Structure 1
């Protein structure tokens, strides 16, 4: 009975994560039932990959609908033209930006502006708090979106079903890696105003276990449908990206901010698709 009794509280934490990190409607009486407290937001961190289930679902739906509307088929041999894959990739990327309000993309731009704009730690943190987007942030956003769209279009050549599975799994797994930053690094943002301050306490191991549980099914499906090599390549690429981001933040900021978490999600998502594209690339005999 105890797990069943805990289910409503876990559902509240999950819905709070959805409310905090997306624009998907958790409002009205539902929002009143969910409630809010810093402790609840801290507990919701375990469900960040679960938010990826929803956002990835939106991406999958839009990619699939556009692919079908433009005449693409299911099999690689009938998957349509590269332009079909490109339009579907752009459409699903726009859909995820709308679904999240560009939350993670904003973090990436702020991090690029701060760490690109100053070698001094305090000045970099000050720049990151500025809502305006500078040259480094604009370049980072353009390059990140181009990389994401290009990789998703490239994956389309392998058929619709593998692409949709990788798209969904990339959104889920990329939301798990930032939790390791919370676990390993101190929070260095403005504690008085930072929205991520409730996440500053290092995440507990049971919460990391819950986050891993959210990732288990998507990863198992990738291994089953596309093979262990593809799974290993995706995980290795995204793990290297997460480690590089963590090392960068530790060296430059001596910790993380909420923007760092968003930037890490974006970079790890792109790296996941890159690993898949490399693993699935045809090899010359």
Structure 2
């Protein structure tokens, strides 16, 4: 048996479901800088096994979004100007994750748009320096998120802005998992290959939990249902276009592509909500 055959056999071996608590803690630790103590029966160090663990990603995403949600609520209730309140909210998101997804977005933009061959694009993506396309992508990401959240706050109040952060956090991260599950890794030795390909059962559970969170916020009257549906649809479309571009330009996905998918998904949901609130006010 070759090394490749051995790796494929290992990936095909069904893992043991670690349980919701351990899976949630694993995702929080992987996707954020939040301190999470080791739970009984857990080995917290090293790359996680993502074949089943991302089922719990929506729960982890809610915990990761909690500091930004509280920031949005307090800033809005304090009467801070919408743009400043939204900027503080996005800052809380970035600090909590350590710019984990933003780094992937910048590397993706530099690589996909800065190289002329798959090899050169991957080489650029591995470079820690930020180029013109990466800087523009980061700037646009912050600008779009801040202005969209400010529009939500101005149109519907602090609870709506906080709810938008909660609705976007799980779904946008599952968009990255969808690409991980459906697109082959470009690098056999990359992080996205090392964590493993999610099992077929992961996406329905993860999307179901994420959708339930969004719909619950809509049912509670905190967010407009048309805006939620539009934002979720735009998020899926953005992730699909990114995955198609990655397959065409670099032959598959990398960890940076997954981070970029989260950023695009979050932006899409905020824009859908802001657009719907704007139409309702017109």
Alignment TM class, shorter chain as reference: 0.7 to 0.9
- Matches of residues 1-285 of structure 1 in structure 2 within 5 Å? 9-27=19-37, 30=38, 33-36=41-44, 40-69=49-78, 71=79, 84-157=81-154, 158-189=156-187, 191-192=188-189, 194-201=190-197, 203-224=198-219, 225=221, 226-282=223-279
1:126 is displaced (CA, Å) by 0.9
TM-score by length of 1: 0.85
Q: Contact 1:186–1:200 (CA<8 Å) still a contact in 2?
A: no
Q: Contact 1:114–1:125 (CA<8 Å) still a contact in 2?
A: yes
Q: Contact 2:59–2:170 (CA<8 Å) still a contact in 1?
A: yes
1:58 is displaced (CA, Å) by 1.5
- Helix, strand or coil at the partner of 1:281: helix
Cα distance in 2 between the residues matched to 1:46 and 1:11? 11
The size of the alignment, in residue pairs, is: 263
Q: Contact 1:17–1:41 (CA<8 Å) still a contact in 2?
A: no
**Which portions of structure 1, spanning 4 or more consecutive aligned residues, are displaced by more than 4 angstroms?**
36-39
1:119 is displaced (CA, Å) by 2.1
Q: Contact 1:62–1:92 (CA<8 Å) still a contact in 2?
A: yes
Q: Tell me, which stretches of 5 or more residues in structure 2 are unaligned?
A: 1-15
Q: Tell me, which stretches of 5 or more residues in structure 1 are unaligned?
A: 1-5, 73-83
Cα distance in 2 between the residues matched to 1:50 and 1:154? 27
1:13 is displaced (CA, Å) by 1.7
